Amino acid sequence: MLALQAPNRSVTLALLCAVIAVLAMVFPSGYYYRVAALVWISAIAAIGLNILMGYAGQVSLGHAGFLGIGAYSVAIGPARFGLNPWLCILIGMLLSTGLAWLVGRPILRLKGHYLAIATLGFGFLTALVLANETRWTGGPDGMAVARLSVAGVRLTSSVAWYWISGTLLVLASAVALNLYDSATGRALRALQASEIAAATSGIDVARHKLWAFIIAAAYASIAGSALAFFDGFITPDAAGFLRSIELVAMVVVGGIGSTVGSIVGAGLLVTLPQLLTVFVEYEQVALGFIIMLVMIFFRRGIVPSAQRFIVRRWS
């Protein structure tokens, strides 16, 4: 097993900022800014999920549920309760992390595929509630979201959200990368390797798993709120099973455990449907084919595979 040099944290963040800045200079139209903004937003949720799946090794097939909660908080708060949209972002995070704490404590006792089913059920249930409670949420047709304003300026354009979500992404990555090397991060990585060994060396396994779950929920909630504000509209599919699977695919395809991997995975899965429209009715065929191809040939994920390739070439 080749010892991979973990790239310097600051270098990674600097590169990320550079990419965000450079792309902004080459985009020809609002459409590109929109797609990129969606990539940054999905990447935030994926990075959170990566903390849960990659650092702590716990699988979650219902993560989009937290995204939905963050999104609907900023939709329902101003519309039904007249609350300040900024405050609702916070409320969304509180609700998500609170729910994560409540639900996480019992279900994180389950392992492997059983945990997968429990998280699946959670996501399913969240989407169901959002779809059924029509009076609050507008039902399956969704509801409009009042836009965010800063100093009287309404933030509606794709360009504005490109920069906002880009900044959020840099912050989110910074926190995640920092976490990786911190004591909590090491504890999480230890319990992923072997829960029993971690427990015998004094790590409170249950508490750390819960922390990972809560942090991941917070990330998803912020991403959800950003998505709702950007679109000006939200529907329950944002919390649905397909969205959860998409998030898992982003993390896995990009490389479990790698923050940059999650960003790459998000980039691939958000832009691919846009690129594949050329195939018209074969779009789904092409999408499924590419996902399989990527996972077969880059089975550790794109970024780790690329790292190994580089290391092998230059050593």
Buried b (16+ CB within 10 A) or exposed e, 28-60: eeeebbbbbbbbbbbbbbbbbbbbbbbbbbbbb
Kindly tell me which residue out of 6, 15, 19, 197 binds another protein, with binding defined by CB under 8 A. Answer: 197
Kindly tell me which residue out of 144, 150, 171, 311 binds another protein, with binding defined by CB under 8 A. Answer: 144
Phi, psi of 51 (to 5 degrees): -65, -40
Q: Give the rounded distance of the alpha carbon of 63 from its chain centre.
A: 8
Shortest distance in whole angstroms from residue 231 CB to another protein: 6
Please give the Cα distance from 171 to 273 (Å, whole number).
27
Find the binding residues for another protein in span 11-50 (CB under 8 A).
29-31, 34-35, 38
Residues 137 and 77 sit within 8 Å (Cβ to Cβ):
no
Find the binding residues for another protein in span 266-295 (CB under 8 A).
273-278, 280-295
Nearer to another protein, 17 or 116 (CB): 116
Please give the Cα distance from 39 to 242 (Å, whole number).
17
Q: Does 76 bind another protein (CB under 8 A)?
A: no
Q: Does 94 bind another protein (CB under 8 A)?
A: no
Please give the Cα distance from 241 to 222 (Å, whole number).
19
- CA 27, 67, 190: angle at the middle one, nearest 5? 100
Kindly tell me which residue out of 227, 260, 263, 303 binds another protein, with binding defined by CB under 8 A. Answer: 227
Q: Does 168 bind another protein (CB under 8 A)?
A: no
Kindly tell me which residue out of 55, 161, 180, 298 binds another protein, with binding defined by CB under 8 A. Answer: 298
Shortest distance in whole angstroms from residue 184 CB to another protein: 22
Angle at which helix 30-50 crosses helix 241-254, to 10 degrees, equals: 80
Shortest distance in whole angstroms from residue 193 CB to another protein: 12
Q: Does 198 bind another protein (CB under 8 A)?
A: no
Which DSSP category does 84 fall into?
-
Render 233-248 in DSSP notation, one character per residue.
EE-GGGGSHHHHHHHH
Nearer to another protein, 23 or 110 (CB): 110
Please give the Cα distance from 103 to 242 (Å, whole number).
21
Find the binding residues for another protein in span 235-254 (CB under 8 A).
235, 237-238, 241-242, 245, 248-249, 252-253
Q: Does 101 bind another protein (CB under 8 A)?
A: no
Kindly tell me which residue out of 88, 256, 260, 266 binds another protein, with binding defined by CB under 8 A. Answer: 256
In this structure, the number of other CB atoms found within 10 A of the CB of residue 131 comes to 20
Number of residues that bind another protein (CB under 8 A): 84
Nearer to another protein, 48 or 301 (CB): 301
Shortest distance in whole angstroms from residue 204 CB to another protein: 18
Nearer to another protein, 210 or 237 (CB): 237
